[in-house]
Structure 1
Amino acid sequence: MTDTQKTIAIIGAGIVGVSTALWLQRDGHKVILIDRKGPAEGASFGNGGILASCSIVPVTVPGLLPKAPKMLFSPNQPLFLKWGYLPKLAPWLLKYLGHANAADTARAAAALTPIVGDSLQDHLALAQGTGAEKWIEPSDYVFVYDDRAHFESDAFGWNLRREHGFQWDEFEGQAFRDYDPVYSPDLGFAARLKDHGRIRDPGRYIKDLADHMVAQGGELIIADVEDIARENGQVTGVRAGGQVIACDAAVIASGVWSGPLAKKLGLEVPLESERGYHIEFWEPSVMPKTPVMVAARKFVATPMEGRLRLAGVVEFGGTEAEASKAPIELLRRNAAAVFPGLKASHVTEWLGHRPAPADSIPVIGELPHIKGAFTGFGHHHIGLTGGPKTGRILAQLISGRQPNVDLSVYSPARYTKAGHQ
């Protein structure tokens, strides 16, 4: 508990915002959670549901640049682009692809490890006593490859994981089939990481966390946030739904929608929507025993409450465009290829927006030029995994405690005019 109670407005009711609110509440602060739609209505609803501690390797690995054009023109590759959006996307895309080198990939992995590396324990600590614990399931996380040579072609990423303390078991051929027989015989190699986890229903999990926050005296407001009010370089309130909600500090944690709000505060963050799709097979005839990343097809499959969720396609096209058919069709083809005989009572589809900063490193901390203005966004593919730790760090900063993490790499200062980005 802190000595001085503050009123904190948190903008965004996904996993980062809800985590921040709960940790602040435990520190004795008054919290107001503001979201345009309500808890878990964005990426926090539709993610892969994996507490993927080992997911420290960004998309922009060395060698991406020559592969990207071929991927865009193949209907069987998990990368799509709405071509009319390309002129708007281009400045961000050039920065993003500029990070596809060994040094920047290693830098991103080092930055992400403290945020995601202990995700299962971070979630258990967050959910303790909230009623949301029931959705957390400790599990292995398995990466499946065609064969050993295919696995070894990913050596750069696996070496980074090893450097950051991750260990794994390897299964080949019959040993893999003995571990889990549901996969196609074309898939002959697996790397298994222990001490991971999954959320059996991410949307309901985050709603339960938010309900607990409200039951403990927190406030939930459904409104669009227009701006953050400030006087003499200090946050005084949040402008939302035509009123000013008074507060001592404000946290921007609204995913891809954080960019325009941050810009009003003088932060020029190169942030894009990485449009992500999922399909769910309800009452499936086959179910993998653990969450899995199918490396050949770049998608994840996660056992969930009553259904199997497949997620992991990337499309660039902004936040306004309608869903595309091709990514969903690819996920359906992938499901048939990887899980032979998979049938379901019905199949549902979803599109959401992952917040992708050009350097793949989230923006976490206090703005250097506005006291009481904090950010917690830009987690790319790992928002669910890193949300609780991010929320705890922000709560510590707001309560005047120094987290046991070097925060300089996440600092919003890198996006101010005085910053170097």
Structure 2
Amino acid sequence: MSRPRILVVGAGIVGLCAAWHLQRAGAQVTVVDRAGPGEGTSSGNAGAISQGSVAPLAMPGVLKSVPGMLLDPKGALHIPPRAWPAALPWLWRFVLAARPERVQDIAEGMSQLLAGAETRHREILREEGAEELLRDEGQLYLYRDAAHLAKDESAWALRREYGQRTEILDRAGIEALENGISPDYTVGVFLPEQGHILNPLRHARVVARGVERLGGEIRRAEVTDLVTENGRVTGIRAGGETLLAEHVVLAAGTWSRDLLRRIGLDVPLIAQRGYHVMIPDPGLMPRRPLVPADRKAFVTPMEEGLRVAGTVEFGANDAPPSPRRAALLLDDLRKLLPGARAEGAKPFWMGHRPCLPDTLPVMGPVAARPGLWCCFGHGHLGLTASAPAGAMLARAMLGPPANTDLSAFALERFA
């Protein structure tokens, strides 16, 4: 029996993990992207593997804090004036997703997606001989006091409901885990079963080499269109040529919406731009990701130094980055680890998180366009979800039949 030809549009970590699992399951896969493997948004993530993060962004408690964040010029959320026309309809859907019954449905979907995420990542890395990239030291969220923690209790309760193990720490407990944390933080939530990746770009390249080792192809070209024939998606146009296949997997992050629009489909996908700064020699290196809850930032130890990643900024793919947003991350570091050195920080980085208003990604077949499969919109959890999403997609496409129903992630939910 011939091997099905599958084109994967997008060489970020989501597309690469999908390609790895598809190639391993017996398909003939070609990954196409204008950039090299992992060189887009995947290279700049915070490195966290957060398999317990089932609580959607649209929690009622978060909604109450949004106005304050928008009014604070140094807040973790920023919507530039030029971004408001696109942001308003998205924010309305975001509000609707915060209804209690919808929150429970979203958490159920995220639990199905993220269950065993670290095991799935370790599976790939072990087969590719790079298991050292995944470190198991947990994650530590930090709060100023008990009242500060109480504001997030609904999200933590939801995580615990779906099996997230948490340990509440006092100041002595924090100091037993990490040195140098500001005394302003007196309460911690330790997640012992969550890990992190030491180098997201190297990680993506390892997966890409695995795709090639298994017999797949990585091709560098800009994808300009999806090719259709009698309503069916039969290929793509990339680099001035037409590539045909039995199936096309769209995993192009925030650029997925543009390609879908060209074949008459639309999804409320928006770019939430994130920034990071990398400090090669901070003088103080934590053992695990630290998350100051008042700043929504991740401070992560990596091979190349200390990465401070965060902020949420709405903006188009072609809008210029804001140095002021990046500078806020250095302020966050000083407030969290006052003894760390920020001198010598590398030039800041900015990337586009592909976010949908209900937190759930779009995954699975597109009923209106046979031959087209989607795997995008994983938002702030793209790294975590990439390996399990790739495994789920491969089983749905090639078998054996999966226990997980992909209907919760269907594009048609936005019809």
* Category of TM-score, reference length = shorter chain: over 0.9
Residues in 2 aligned to 1:64 and 1:188: alpha-carbon distance in whole angstroms: 22
* TM value normalised by structure 2: 0.95
SS of equivalent residue, structure 2 residue 31: strand
Larger CA deviation: 84-93 vs 138-147: 84-93
Matches of residues 237-386 of structure 1 in structure 2 within 5 Å? 237-344=235-342, 346-348=344-346, 349-386=348-385
Q: Which amino acid aligns with 1:176?
A: I
What is residue 222 of structure 2 aligned with on the other side? 224
SS state of the match for residue 29, structure 2?
Answer: strand
Checking the alignment, whether the CA contact within 8 Å between 2:285 and 2:306 is kept in structure 1 is yes
Q: Which amino acid aligns with 1:403?
A: A
Q: 2:187 aligns with which of 186, 189, 199?
A: 189
| Per-residue deviation, 1:344 | 4.8
Other-structure match for 1:138: 136
| Counterpart secondary structure, 1:128 | helix
Q: Over aligned residues, Cα RMSD in angstroms?
A: 1.6
Question: Per-residue deviation at 1:66?
Answer: 4.1
Q: Where does residue 410 of structure 2 map in the other structure?
A: 411
CA distance in 2, matches of 1:30, 1:6: 6
Q: Aligned letter for 1:411? A: A
Which deviations, in whole Å up to 9, do the C-alpha atoms of 1:27-86 show, x marking residues without a partner?
Answer: 121110000112112221111100011222222210444432321121231011111221
Q: Specify the SS of the correspondent of 2:101.
A: helix
1:204 pairs, out of 202, 205, 210, with 202
Separation in 1, partners of 2:16, 2:281: 30
Relative to the length of structure 1, the TM-score reads 0.94
2:96 counterpart of 1:98: yes
1:84-127 residue CA offsets vs partner (Å, 9 max, x unmatched): 22123322222223323333322222211121232210101122
Query: Letter of the aligned partner of 1:72 in structure 2?
Result: L
* Residue 157 (str. 1) matches residue 155 (str. 2): yes
Deviations for 1:233-279, whole angstroms, at most 9, x for unmatched residues? 43322111111112110000011111111223443210100000111
Pairing partner for 2:75 from 74, 77, 80: 77
Q: 2:153 and 2:19 mapped to 1: Cα distance?
A: 39
Q: Give the residue type in structure 2 aligned to 1:381.
A: H
d(CA) in 2 for partners of 1:309, 1:364: 30
Deviates more, 1:232-241 or 1:298-307: 232-241
Checking the alignment, whether the CA contact within 8 Å between 1:63 and 1:101 is kept in structure 2 is no
Do 2:143 and 2:293's aligned partners in 1 also have CA atoms closer than 8 Å?
yes
2:16 matched to 1:18? yes
Contact 1:61–1:100 (8 Å) recurs in 2: yes
Structure 2 gap ranges (5+) = none
* 8 Å Cα contact 1:182-1:287 kept in structure 2: no
Residue 390 of structure 1, CA deviation: 0.8
| SS at 2:137 equivalent | strand
SS in 1 for 2:147: helix
Structure 1: how far apart are the matches of 2:310 and 2:245? 38
CA distance, structure 2, for counterparts of residue 253 and residue 89 of structure 1:
22
What residue identity is the alignment partner of 2:158? L
Tell me the distance in 1 between the aligned counterparts of 2:274 and 2:207: 24
Q: Following the alignment from structure 2 to structure 1, what is the Cα–Cα distance between the partners of residues 271 and 58?
A: 15
- Secondary structure (helix, strand or coil) at the match of 2:227 reads strand
The alpha carbon displacement at 1:197 in A equals 1.3
1:136 shift after superposition: 1.4
Q: Residue 87 of structure 1 aligns to a residue in which SS?
A: helix
Q: Tell me the equivalent position of 2:25.
A: 27
Q: CA deviation at 1:141?
A: 1.3
Q: Using the alignment, how far apart are the partners of 1:244 and 1:230 within structure 2?
A: 11
In structure 1, runs of 5+ residues without a counterpart are: 416-420
Q: 1:296 to 1:172 in 2, by over 3 A?
A: same
Q: Percent identity?
A: 35
| CA distance, structure 1, for counterparts of residue 127 and residue 173 of structure 2 | 40
Contact 2:16 2:31 in 1 (8 A): yes
Compared CA separation, residues 215 and 369, structure 1 to 2 (3 A): same
Instruction: Give the whole-Å Cα distance in 2 for the aligned partners of 1:130 and 1:265.
Output: 37
Distance, in Å, in 1 between the alignment partners of 2:304 and 2:411 is 41
Give the Cα–Cα distance (whole angstroms) in 2 for the partners of residues 135 and 65 of structure 1.
Answer: 36
Aligned with 1:302: secondary structure? strand
Establish whether residue 236 from structure 1 lines up as the match of residue 223 from structure 2: no
Cα shift at 1:160: 0.3
1:398 paired to 2:386? no
Deviations 1:204-226 (A, max 9, x none): 11012102212332111111112
Q: Secondary structure at the match of 2:192?
A: strand
Residues paired across the two proteins, number:
414
Q: What is the match of residue 67 of structure 1? A: 65
Greater mean alpha carbon deviation, residues 100-109 or residues 295-304: 100-109
Aligned to 1:117: 115
Inter-partner Cα distance in structure 2 for 1:244 and 1:218: 18
**Secondary structure in structure 1 of the residue aligned to 2:224:** strand
> In structure 2, what residue type is equivalent to 1:58?
P
Name 1:418's counterpart in structure 2: none
Q: Which amino acid aligns with 1:395?
A: A
Q: CA deviation at 1:4?
A: 4.5
CA distance in 2, matches of 1:62, 1:344: 36
User: Larger deviation: 324-333 or 14-23?
Assistant: 324-333
